[in-house]
Structure formats: C-alpha cells, structure tokens
Amino acid sequence: MIDNKPYSQACENNKSFILAHLKEAFSSATHVLEIGSGTGQHAVYFAPALPHLIWQTSDQAPYHAGINQWIDDFPSDNLRRPLLFKVAENVTLFDDFDAIFTANTAHIMQKEDVEIMMGLIANHLPKGGVFCQYGPFTDRGVFTSESNQQFHLHLLEQGYGGYRDINELIEWSQGLKLAQNICMPANNQLLIWRK
C-alpha cells in the first residue's frame, strides 16, 4: 500500500510496455471497457495517454474503493469510475464498447469463467472491435519459463484457475481472430484479438 491506496509493483513495471502497443491497437477505438481493473493503476496511466477514447474501469465490488482512490488522485476527463463486473452477470455491459482490455485476469479466474468471458467478448464486440489481453499463457501446454510453470502450480494450490492455453482461448472465442501474439517483459504476452 502507498498512501493507503492498493498498489501493485507489477503494474508499474509493465504499464509503459503495454501502453506502447495499446496506442496502435486502440487507435480507432472510442470506448474501452477494462475488465478487472484491480488496483486502478493501469487505468489512470492509460486513459490520459489515450485521450481520443473513453476508458471505463470495472471489477468486483471489493476493488471499487481502491480504484476510486487512484482516480481521485489521478483524474482524467476520459476516465470513468468502476462498474460492477462479474462473469456471467451484467452481460449487457459489453454492448456499449468497441474495445476491451484486461490484464492478469485469465490465470486468476476459474477455467469456466474464462471460457464465459471469452465467449461474451466474442459475441458482443462489434465488427472491427479489438480485445487486448495481457498476461502469462501457455502455448500447446508449453510454459514460457520454468518460473511461470512454478507460479502456475502455486496458483492451483491457492485455488485459482491457473494459466490458460492460447489454443483454449481461441476455441472459446469463435468470431474473434488472434491477430497478434506479442512477447512482453517478464515472460508475459499481449494477445490482440480482432472481430
């Protein structure tokens, strides 16, 4: 915690690398939904750097206070306070956006929830819509590093869903095309999906 706000060092480490790609991927976007805004650090960094679009935060209710603290300290005209988001609920939420972003959510969520999320995005994004998905993944069961494999096992022990395979995501998101798979720092990837 810094200044009583929730804080993630990982967000600080990766934000500039992600933003460099979002500037291109979201160049034609007008309204972005961030699924799982977490601490809110990404949102307050990305929104002012992408002034041509509206950045809408969302997460489960317990995270809203922290996200709002970050927005209070780093307000931006195009940044919106968090909406309640739970997988398989608030389904119509997706109808208002032409772009979606999520970071470090798929390996925390349960497998069935990731499947639902991918299907909802595929079904609700408009034609030409973009979905940017950041995090660690496997490819045909192969981990990008030994540390990633160890972290996956640790997540499973803690009751989280663990790493998802890129080919699973493709199967669950019929109607979306995986346009780019970009290698990022710390053995992470940025998947850019287009409809």
pLDDT in tens, 107-148: 999 999 999 999 999 999 999 999 999 999 999 999 999 999
- Mean pLDDT of the region 55-74: 97
For residue 89, the SS3 value is coil
Distance of CA 180 to the CA centre of its chain: 15
- Residue 42 pLDDT grade (very low, low, confident, very high; cuts 50, 70, 90): very high
Answer positive or negative: Cα dihedral of 75, 125, 193, 108.
positive
Structure token pair of residue 49? 């750097």
Listed in sequence order, the residues at least 6 apart from 93 whose beta carbon sits closer than 8 Å to its beta carbon are: 33, 58, 83, 85
CA angle, corner 28, sides to 40 and 100, nearest 5?
A: 40
Q: Are 54 and 31 in contact (CB under 8 A)?
A: yes
For residue 1, pLDDT beyond 70: no
Tokens representing residue 190 in the block: 């940025």
Average pLDDT over residues 43-67: 97
Instruction: Give CA–CA dist 17/5, Å, rounded.
Output: 23
- Cβ atoms of 106 and 152 closer than 8 Å: no
What pLDDT, in 10s, does the model give residues 138-186? Answer: 999 999 999 999 999 999 999 999 999 999 999 999 999 999 999 999 9
Q: Which CATH class is domain 9-194?
A: alpha beta
* High-pLDDT (> 90) share of the chain, %: 92
Q: How far apart are CA 103 and CA 36, in angstroms?
A: 7
- Domain boundaries of the chain, sorted by first residue: 9-194
What are 61's two structure tokens? 């209710």
**What pLDDT score was predicted for residue 154?**
96
Give the whole-angstrom CA distance, residue 138 versus residue 145.
10
pLDDT of residue 95: 86
Kindly tell me the sign of the dihedral angle through the C-alpha atoms of 79, 194, 151, 105. positive
Nearby residues of 1 by Cβ (< 8 Å), 6 or more positions away: 7
How remote is the C-alpha of 31 from its chain's centroid?
15
Distance separating alpha carbons of residues 180 and 113, to the nearest angstrom: 23
- CA–centroid distance for 154 within its chain: 21
pLDDT score of 18 more than 70: yes
Give the pLDDT band (50/70/90) at residue 2. Answer: low
pLDDT exceeds 90 at position 54: yes
Rounded distance between C-alpha atoms, residue 175 and residue 149, angstroms: 30
